Structure formats: C-alpha cells, structure tokens
Amino acid sequence: MAKIPIEIFNLSEDFQSAIENSVKRANELQDDLEYSIIDQNNQRDFNIMFPDEIDARLLFKTMDQRRREIGGFHPYVLLITDNPVYDEYYNIFGSSEPEKGLGIFTTNGVADTIIPENKMDAYFIYYLARYSLNFLNPSHKNHQGTRECVYDVKTSKLDIKKSMKGNAFCEECKKNLLTGDSKITIPILNSINKLLEETGVILNDVKIPKIGLKENNIFISYSHKDEIWKNRLKIHLKPLEEIGNIRVWSDDKLKPGDKWFETVKQSMAESKIGILLISPDFLASDFINHVEIPKLLENVEKEGGLIIPIIIRHSLFPRIKKLSKFQATNSPSNPIAGLNESEQDEIFAKISESIWDLMEAK
C-alpha cells in the first residue's frame, strides 16, 4: 500500500536541523505516512512572501493558488515558520484548512517558555501527527474540556504537553476518527499514535503543569485607566459566581481599613486563574509589572494556574514573551476597544465559557 505523502516547507531559521531530524525520525517510526521536506527549488516555485506576523487565513489562500498554478500532486502541504501566527486568535501554535490539505505551525514563543529547546523534536513530531489527523479527517474538530486529548482546545498554551504522549485520544475522538468520511484506518491511527508516543518519550523528564481549580478563584489584573472594561468583563463572569461557586476578585473589592497590599497578594495566591486586561497603561504599571505579573506567573509554574490575556488596546504585548506565550483571547490587531459592542460581548462570553468548561472538567 502506498504511503500518504505530506510535504513540508521548512522555513524555520532557528530549528532547521531539528526539523530535519524530526521528519527523519517520524518516517522511521511508522509505515503509513511519508513526510518530506520540499527542496529549495520547489519552495521557490511557490513564491510566497512572509510578513513578520502571519495571518494564516491569507497564507492559505496564497498557498492554494500557488499549488494550483504549479500543478502536480501536492495533496497535503504543511509549513513551519519562526514567525507569530494568528487567525481569529493571536499567537497560536498553528492553524489549518484541512479540507484543502493545508497547515501551518510556528516555533515562535515555544522553545524554553513551553517546550525546552533541547526537546523541540517532540514539538515537531507532535505537529506532524496532529496535522496528519486534520488532513485525513477534516470534519473532526477540537472540543472544549481538558481530556488530555490532542483535540482539546488549548485554553492555556502550556496545555499542549498534556497530550504529548501515546494514546492521547479521548474515547469520543477515537471513535469519530475512524468513522464517517474519515481516511483514517486503524493501521494509520496506530502509526500516528507511534508518533505521539515518541513525543512522550522525548519529554519523559519534563514537568507537566496541572491546572487545579479547587479554589475556583479568578483574579483580574488591570490598569485603572481600563476600569470600564474590567466592569464589562465582571458582568459576564457574574453567572459563574452565582452558579459555579467561584469568586472573582479585583481591587474594587478593597474596603476602607483593608491592608490593601497584603489583601491583593492573598487574593492572587488564592486564585488559580489570572485574567489580564492588556493595554499600554497595563504594561506601564510598576505595580502590575513587579507584583501582580510575577505572582500570577508563579501560580502557573508552581500551582498549575492559568493566565488569560485579553487585548484591550494596541500595545507591545506581542513583544513581551513572558506574557505573549499565553494565548490571547483576541488578536492584538483587533483590540476590544476597536470592536463594536456585540463583538466585545462575544469575546467576554468566550472567556466565561472557557472557564466554565474547566470547572466541569475537574
């Protein structure tokens, strides 16, 4: 039986050899998929220019057009870049249009902040497996809830390591992958599982943070210049307080006579979720930079906490790696302040739904 060909544009300047080694290893591990790096001559045929930040939706249109122009058999094409990638979300790992057999993923903000640099082979092999699944069963989509499944929506980018292991399929996904119009057979699924198993072997000594929401507390970090947006967000979170038994804390809860500094620190320590309202004023605040952000990052590292950035106004957020490694709810190119009221509500509601799903998954 002929192997399924998946071609790869290796446009990474930082991880050229690691990607080549990962492709070679992926081919050695299984017999159903053939991964190959497109040579430089064929890359020139595609003639694609890349900006510093890549809008995946526009890129796919260009790739599909070039593929039609050059002809030949190129059913599945995957591109690897070092540049930030976005679609409706900003700073994502990658994106795909599986019906067209096109995918892209990035190394941007991954090495050392999410995956140790000397373990990046696991990341590359993981995404070869992940997009192979997309290509061969384009109708199967991601799901909410943390099941340690490759199809989990990664509410926190750190969650990717939970599914970098063998048998990283929930029962529902495993069933759906093999039914309907899927091109995935049991042997192909076994081959993809071998790739996922290899990622677990590579990462065997890397600590995987666990999100524990036993306190169900949320801390909102914001500049007082953005108080209007904090209030709008709290309206959307209010049903979670009423129904879900959580506590949403922001500094407007401080009462006369409170030791405000100790109260703020205690509230952060008790909160497993930090929501950041990103704006120039937020990034310019000494208290936020030197007190709130370090404590919230510590919660992620030691307690399995979660950070959710919301882009309120244009700022240098994409350049600040300690923050931009967390997937923002909306793109920095589309800050909330520039959207209409309905679009703003959609983003705030999306955050509440994600937190609700985490609570249900406990």
Phi-psi region of 324 (alpha: psi -120 to 50; beta: other; left: phi over 0): alpha
Average pLDDT, the chain: 86
Percent of the chain scored above 90 by pLDDT?
47
| pLDDT tens per residue, range 128-144 | 999 999 999 999 988 86
Measure the CA–CA gap between 55 and 37, rounded to whole angstroms: 22
**Mean pLDDT within 314-333:** 86
- Burial class of residue 186 in the structure, from the number of CB atoms within 10 Å of its CB (0-12 exposed, 13-18 middle, 19+ buried): exposed
| pLDDT tens per residue, range 74-110 | 999 999 998 888 776 666 889 999 999 999 999 987 8
**0.85 surpassed by pTM:** no
Measure the CA–CA gap between 362 and 356, rounded to whole angstroms: 10
pLDDT-based confidence at residue 258 (cuts at 50, 70, 90) = low
pLDDT of residue 273 exceeding 80, the answer is yes
pLDDT-based confidence at residue 354 (cuts at 50, 70, 90) = confident
What are the structural domains of the chain?
Answer: 4-202 (3.40.390.10), 217-360 (3.40.50.10140)
Q: Which residues on adjacent β-strands are paired with residue 273? A: 218, 306
**Residue whose tokens read 């939706």:** 57
| pLDDT tens per residue, range 173-201 | 999 999 888 999 999 999 999 999 999 99
